[in-house]
Structure 1
Amino acid sequence: MSIPVSALLGSTRRFVSAIVLFVLLDLTVLVINLWLADQLADDAVAINLAGRQRMLSQQTTKALLLANGAADPATRAAAADELATAFGLFEQTLTAFAESGQTLGGDDTPVTLKAVTGEAARAVREARAIVAPLKAMLHGATPASRDGPHYAAAADYMVRHNREVLSLMNSLTTALEHDSVRRSRDLRAIQTGAFVLALGNFLAIVVGLLRQFRATETDRQRWRELARHDPLTGLANRKAFTETALGVLARAEVDGSCGAVLMLDLDGFKPINDSFGHATGDRILIALAASLDATARATDTAARLGGDEFAILCPNLHEPAHIDQFCGRLLAAIARIPDEICPGRMLGASIGVAVYPDNGYALANLMGQADRAMYAAKHSGGNRWQAA
């Protein structure tokens, strides 16, 4: 017999659902990890460029002072070029922080910055308000007009606002660092939650598999037991009787022990079935099996071989007197089957006995001889036992 298909399908669906959920949670953790890595990379770039803004603001102030006050024309020209580069990059990066956009990274490759929020946005907004007049002052400053009034006014303006710009860039850097730490903490909390869910689901899968394994083993054991028992009477069936008897006889042949094999058949069972119906016949067989099981010794094995044919393996039952007593008890027990099952009918049985080692140790031979003895008892009038 096999485990019901519906039970297998139900277990399979639950198992597949748990696996799919585990994979989805695992993918979620992977996506969060990738997202977290991207966020941390973006934060690192932003913090690095915010730090560079402090340097560029100081470089702009220094270049303005040199472009305005250096005595050497070559020094003023070099300072003007440095000013254009430093201030241009400073203003470009500030705009990227404010509006989302591209600027140059530390290795002079384009990078895209996201618009900052909160305290960082305030620092950028105030810095742009300070830088706007300076940008207007330098608008007309070209290499041809380096000695003009542009640099003098711009240098004076930048000196007056230098500390303020530096403080704002420090605030920008600090705000970005705080935002990065907070975002990392939030993302890691999400990551941890997803991991805990995935782990919990994995443990649930393991527990489910163990439970399913135990349930399957229990079912298999139950089906194995059912496969070895007669479904109507609960006695051992022919397969179980054969396996047990072969084992007992093999040991008996080794140690030289003795015993008996009994074949039993109800007398007149077919007429009872025909007269009272198969339901009554089944009740008789159940009652007969209960009588045999109650009469048999603890070491005996009673089995229903089919129909109204039964067999009993009786180790260490060899002496004729003991066999006579045992068969007498069997017939008496059968006679006591309640009359209400089959009113007006006295139940009896014919029993054939083969003993080992007298009749050998081969099970087929023992059962064959016991079966012939049983039919001899039946032909002699029934309700008796006959030795092979």
Structure 2
Amino acid sequence: MLGREAGSTVRLALQLARAARVRLLLSVLLVAIAMTVFLIVSQLSQIGTRGLDDAIDSESGAEGSYSVETQTTFGLGRTAFVERVVHRLQRISSAPVSYVVGYPDIRPECPPYDVLGSGMVRFVYRADGTPYPLRYGGSLPGDTKVCLAGAAVPARAIFVPSAADKNRWGDGLTLAPAYESSAALMSSEPIAYRFVVTTGQPDSIPAIRSALQAELGTDATKFGVTVDEVTVTIGRLDRGEQVRAASAGIKTIFGVIGWGVLILGALGLLVSQLIVVRDRMWLFGLSLALGARRVHVALLVGVEVLATVVLGVASAIVLALASQPLADRVAQATFDADADLVNPAAIPRLVLGSVVVLVVASAWPVVRATTQDPLDVLEPKLS
């Protein structure tokens, strides 16, 4: 019985909405424009901040990245040492751990490199021991070479680091791992190890040191040392905190603009519904006087708002697809990226935005309609 009454109420609400087609159309258009602007601003915000964050990471290092450096293996062989350290650090790292093997005090043998004096020669590996994919060769002339232990290292095996690369992998000459055996023949100093860990957290040095202590503490004691600042140096690699803060500020500004437009659209729909409720107070009051339940009156208001929001969202999707070429041109010119306005990631934003509009536009009108005193209709008060 209650279900049939609710169904009849929903049909009546839809009939009332169709009776005021012009107002319904304008309300749907208002919601559609607000939702479209919300989608565009949200997507451009994501593209812009993602591109800025990638540029910051490229120049200043990934946020929450650290270097762990040591010249002792605590009595362990190289393979066992690297495997155990990588395995332990990977537990607290949000990205794959990579490591650098460095041979100190090496002087390249063929000119003009011998004028540079002795220095560190480094080789970079992934966590599994495979070569890390660096940009070997870079813009070096094809006839560039380095000579190690009588073997010529061609330009295509030489990595030219940027300032960010030096910060991440360390200073010194970086070569392809295929030439590590030649470097090993030229150095009598202990191998220097550098592990790169990315936790994403601003202060992970205590956690990193604790992890190393748990993994290597017993071996260090047997070796006659401790896992402390002397044997293991831990430093933070990422920089550019001010630029990162600016990026977060830009994202906040975009968010305020997008949500502001959406709230304005919701408020416009709210004003429209309040006018409708005022004009239909006689209907709501009479319905209550004749025995209608307040939930039915709430349905009369809520169904119309819901229909308006649903039609508005559908129209917003159509508008977004229609404006996709323009958005792509703006995104390409500004951020060098495509603006995919309607994508799986946009669905949660659409749902959330729709709920916000629905709640803002219907809550007060429903309260106004359901709290109508039937006597105000049957016996209007004289002013």
Range into which the TM-score falls when normalised by the shorter chain = under 0.3
Name the TM-score, length of structure 1 as normaliser.
0.28
Higher relative contact order, chain-length normalized (CA < 8 Å, sep 6+): 2
- Specify which structure has the higher proportion of helix: 1
The structure with more radius of gyration? 1
